[in-house]
Amino acid sequence: MDVSLFNAPEAEPRLRVSIPIRLLAALSCILPIIGVVVSSMLVSEMFVAMSADESAGTDQVMEVMTSASFAATGFLYVAIVCGLVVVVVLVRRTFIPTKTAPPPVWFFVAAGVLCLLPTWLYWKAHLLVLEAVSPNSSIPTDEMASTGAYIAELLVWSIGAAIIASIALVVLAVVPLSSGSINTRNSLIGATAIEVLLIGMAIVV
């Protein structure tokens, strides 16, 4: 009996997972996080300014919130372009043989979760600010102070989560990975899901 038959699965070469694709995919998730940090800092500075100048009105608040939204959506649009490039590259790899493996699907799942968490924290704070300054606000007057404190906490959490998520994404992008498969189907599904997530976030915000 040929003993090599039993060792065949172990003899399959493990391919290095492409770092450039991982870096580009990670960048498409880091960019929205950068937008979250910029937007959170703008809103936080607004709160500091309002505490020093109580005469600040709704117009000033809305101006800052508009700038914050512009920063967040701007980074999102650039992220969408990066994500689209990843999808195109993975589609191309299905027709052209390569010496490296595509990122595994779990990479895209992890990247999506890391991108979504700080973004969700910021937009929750963003919506609370808009609700608080709305003429028909459902927030009672006697709860405005506690709501403001909660918004400030959300902004701090969003910045903290953004820093941690960015570091984790960079590590995932550069840490050595290998795979025994060059099938890009699952990776393409993961990259497409990230692209749909980014587009959905851009539409919502």
Question: Quick check: is 117 in a domain?
Answer: yes
Question: Quick check: is 3 in a domain?
Answer: no
- Give pTM, 2 decimals: 0.81
Question: Quick check: is 64 in a domain?
Answer: yes
Q: Which pairs count as long-range contacts for 52-58, CB under 8 Å and 24+ apart, including other chains?
A: 58/133
Q: Give Cα separations from 77 to 68, 73, 86, 98, 142 (angstroms).
A: 14, 6, 15, 30, 39
**Tens-place pLDDT, residues 77-108:** 999 999 999 999 999 888 887 788 888 889 99
Output the six-digit token pair for 100.
């490296």
Question: Quick check: is 155 in a domain?
Answer: yes
Most confident of 21-25, 93-97, 164-168: 164-168
**Tens-place pLDDT, residues 133-164:** 787 878 887 777 788 889 889 999 999 999 99
Question: Quick check: is 51 in a domain?
Answer: yes
Question: Cα(40)–Cα(68) distance, rounded to whole angstroms?
Answer: 7
Q: Is 170 helix (H, G, I), strand (E, B) or coil?
A: helix
Question: Quick check: is 121 in a domain?
Answer: yes
Domain enclosing residue 159, as ranges? 16-204
Question: Quick check: is 55 in a domain?
Answer: yes
Position 68: which residue type? A
Q: Into how many domains does the chain fold?
A: 1
- The answer to whether 98 and 17 have CB atoms below 8 angstroms apart is no
Question: Quick check: is 127 in a domain?
Answer: yes
